Structure 1
Amino acid sequence: MWFWKVSWGKWDAIWTYSPITTAAISADSRPVLYHCVDNIAAQPLMPAEAIDRYETELVHTADLIFSTAPDLTDRLRRMGADNVIEHTNVVDFEHFGKEYRMRDDSESSRRPSPRTIGFVGALSRYKVDLQLLRRVAEKYPDADVVLIGQIGEGQPGETLAELKDLTNVKLLGPKPYSELPGIISTFDVALLPVPINPYTRSMFPMKFFEYLACGIPVVSTRIPALEKFGDSAFIADTDEQFVEYVKVASTVSRNWRDNARTLASKYTYRERTAEMCCMLDRLLASKSGSVDGTL
C-alpha cells in the first residue's frame, strides 16, 4: 500500500509515499501530504518518464511535502514545490539500542584489525558497491565480512559474482527485524559502501542510525544526506580511504560509541511522528479556517 487515508484528531487527510498514487488520489478532496523518501524514478526497471510526470503533478497537488535528503528537496523544488520540509530518516531507538554492549576501550585498542565487519541491507548493485566490498574483504582477510540482506532486491539476476570466491565473506541472507539489533551489536565496524549514482545521491540510509543506536562505528562513502554527520561517522572520499577507515573505526573508544548512541537517540520515530503530525494538524486547521497558521 503506497498511501493511507489517515485521521488525525478531527481531521482527515491522504498521506502518500509514491508519485504513482497521483491518479488514484487526484479525485479525492481531502488534503494531501507527500512523504518523499526516495528518487523512485532512478531505481532500475522503473518507468522513469511516467514517474516524473506523476511526481510533478503530485508536487503541485500536495498541501505539504516532507523529504528525507537534500537532493530530494532540491529536486522537488525544481519541480515547483514551495512547501518542502526536509527531515532525515529515523530509527526505532528502543529496538536497536537494546543490545548495546559496553566495550572496554582496551578491547579495541589492542586489536590489530577488526574481527567482524558488517553490512545490513539490500544487496543490489545500484545500492551497494560490490567492488569496494571486495577490497575491504581482501584488506582484512582475518575478519568476517558479514552481509545481511536479500540478494538482488530490485535487480533480478544479481549473483554477487565479485564476492563468491572470498572465504571470509559470509552471505547470511535476510534476517527477521527482531534479530537485527543482536546481529549488528556483534560488528566491530558497520559499512555503508554506497555507489554514487542518481538514486543514492538522493537517499538517506535507514541503517545509518540503526548502526549508531547499537553503538557501532560507521564507515560510509560520501553521499549528500550524511554530510552533516561527518563528526559521528567515517565518511570516505575514495575507495582507499574507505578501506583504511575500517581499521580506524574499529579502534574507537567507548566514549565515541556512547556519543554515537546519543546522536541516534535524537532521531526517533516517536519524536519525528509527533513533529510531523503537529505540522499536519496545523495545516489542516489552517485549511479549515479554524486558525490562521503557517508551517
Structure 2
Amino acid sequence: MKPKMVVFGEDWGRHPSSSQHLIRELSAHFEVVWINSIGLRQPRWQDAARLVSKGVARAPKRCQAPFEVIAPRVWPLAQSSWLQRLNHRQMQRALADVGPVDFVWCALPSAEAYLDLFPGARVIYYCGDDFGGLCGVDHGPVLQAEQRLLQRAEWVFCASEVLARRFDHPAVSVVRHGVDMRLFSHSRPRPKALPKGPVLGYYGSLAPWLDYGLLDTLTTVLPECQLVLIGDNHSCPGALLAKPNVHHLGRLPHDQLAAYAQHFDVALLPFLQTPQIAACDPLKLREYLAAGVPVVGTDFDAARDYACGVQLATTREEFVAMVLMSLISRPSVAEIRMQVLGQGWGDRADQIRGKLQSGRCRLQASTRFTA
C-alpha cells in the first residue's frame, strides 16, 4: 500500500507550479490528496469573485485530477481567533474521510495552522519562494507562520541556494526546479500567432517584477524585432503594448508554450533586481533551454549555472547588445538543450524520495487522521 500524502498547495491546475510538477511525479509512489490554496494574504474587496469561485461562499468542492483535489471553505490567512476556529472546523469537515495520513507537504506557510489535524504525520516544508519578498503576500503573518512551520517540519526542500541559506534547520536540502523534457524538446510547428521577423519572446505573468522600461528600450532600439509577450497582464504599461512591434497574446495553456518557445529567436528573462528575483529559480529558464533557444536575462543567481546560450546583463545597454549577439551567433539547439538533460521533474522527485527514505527518515507506519 502506498503511503498517503496530504499536500497544501496552490489551486490545482490554475498554473503549472513546481509543486504540481513534483507531486504529479510523486503520486506514482504516494497516495496523494491535494488541498487547494488556503491563501497567503487577507482578502480584499476585489477578491470577492475569486473567493466565490474557490468555494468560500458555497460548499467545499471536490474534483478529480490525477488524485483527489479538495477545495476547503476557509477564510484566507485568518487572524482573529473566531475565524481561526471556524477555519479549523471547516477543514476538519473537508478532510473527514481522508483516512490515514503519513506525510503532510506544505508548499504554503499558512498550512501550519492545520498541522494539528494530522497527529503523528511527518511534515515536509517545500519552499519555492522567498515569502518575505513575494508580491501579493501579507509578509508579517506569513513569515511568522513559516517560522512555526520550520519548528514542526522534518524536512525542508528549497528551490534555490539563496532560499536554503535563509533557514537554520538540520534537514534543509536544495531541490532545484525541473523541466518537462518530453514536452519542450519534441519538435513542433511554428504557431500561426507568431509574427514574422526575429521574435524576442517571454511567457509568464506580466507582473510587477518585470523591467518594462528595459523592454521599452529594447523595442525602441531594435524596431525590426518583434517582442511577443504571453501571459496575463497585471502591470505592463499600455504604451508598451501599443507599440507596433509588441504583441501580447494573452495567457495560453502550459502545454502550448513549448511550440512558441521553440520558435523564439531569443527568449527573455527581463527581471527587476528584487529580493524575490534574487531567490527565484524560474521554471521558464529550463523550459527555454529544453526548447533549445538562447536566453538573455538580467543577472540573477539561478541563471548563472548555465553558460551555453545564456547571457546575463547588468545594464540596459548590455541587455540590448546581448540580444543582438544572440541573433547573430547562437549555439546549436543540441548544445543548449544538453544543459538540462537529467533535470526532469522525475529526477527532482527521485531526489526528494531519496531524502524521505534515507537513514532515520525511512517511511514509518501510517497515522490516523483525526476529524
Interval of TM-score (by shorter of Structure 1 and Structure 2) = 0.7 to 0.9
Alignment length (residue pairs): 267
Match of 1:115 in 2: 198
CA distance in 2, matches of 1:230, 1:210: 15
Alpha-carbon contact 2:356-2:362 (below 8 Å) kept = no
CA distance in 1, matches of 2:284, 2:104: 28
TM-aligned CA distance change 1:283 to 1:58, over 3 Å: farther
TM-aligned CA distance change 1:41 to 1:287, over 3 Å: same
Deviation at 1:284, TM superposition (A): 6.8
Matched, 1:34 2:117: no
Deviation at 1:11, TM superposition (A): 8.5
CA distance in 2, matches of 1:235, 1:40: 25
Alpha-carbon contact 1:118-1:190 (below 8 Å) kept = yes
Match of 1:177 in 2: 254
Give CA-to-partner distance per residue, 1:18-73, whole Å, 9 cap, x none: 10111111442211111100113322332100011011111121111111112211
Matches within 5 A, 1:115-264: 115-126=198-209, 128-152=210-234, 158-255=235-332, 257-264=333-340
Matches within 5 A, 1:78-93: 80-93=168-181
Q: Supply the AA of the counterpart residue of 2:173.
A: I
CA distance in 1, matches of 2:178, 2:239: 32
Structure 2 spans left out of the alignment, 5+ residues: 1-6, 10-22, 32-99, 190-196, 366-371
Matches within 5 A, 1:257-272: 257-272=333-348
CA distance in 2, matches of 1:168, 1:27: 54
Match of 2:115 in 1: 25
Give CA-to-partner distance per residue, 1:190-224, whole Å, 9 cap, x none: 00001011211111111001001111000011111
Give CA-to-partner distance per residue, 1:223-270, whole Å, 9 cap, x none: 112222244411112121111100111233453x31211112221111
Alpha-carbon contact 1:151-1:173 (below 8 Å) kept = yes
Alpha-carbon contact 2:157-2:172 (below 8 Å) kept = yes
Equivalent residue for 1:94, pick from 178, 182, 185: 182
Alpha-carbon contact 2:200-2:267 (below 8 Å) kept = yes
TM-aligned CA distance change 1:282 to 1:22, over 3 Å: same
TM-aligned CA distance change 1:70 to 1:215, over 3 Å: same
Equivalent residue for 2:142, pick from 48, 51, 58: 51
TM-aligned CA distance change 1:260 to 1:43, over 3 Å: same
CA distance in 1, matches of 2:206, 2:284: 13
TM-aligned CA distance change 1:280 to 1:216, over 3 Å: same
Deviation at 1:116, TM superposition (A): 0.7
CA distance in 2, matches of 1:237, 1:26: 47
TM-aligned CA distance change 1:45 to 1:215, over 3 Å: closer
Q: Supply the AA of the counterpart residue of 2:214.
A: L
TM-score normalised per structure 1 = 0.83
Structure 1 spans left out of the alignment, 5+ residues: 102-113, 153-157, 290-295
CA distance in 1, matches of 2:161, 2:309: 19
Match of 2:34 in 1: none
CA distance in 2, matches of 1:14, 1:134: 45
CA distance in 2, matches of 1:177, 1:199: 23
CA distance in 2, matches of 1:213, 1:125: 26
Deviation at 1:115, TM superposition (A): 0.8
Alpha-carbon contact 2:212-2:236 (below 8 Å) kept = no
Aligned CA-pair RMSD: 2.5
Match of 1:62 in 2: 153
CA distance in 2, matches of 1:237, 1:204: 18
Q: Supply the AA of the counterpart residue of 2:113.
A: A
Match of 2:61 in 1: none
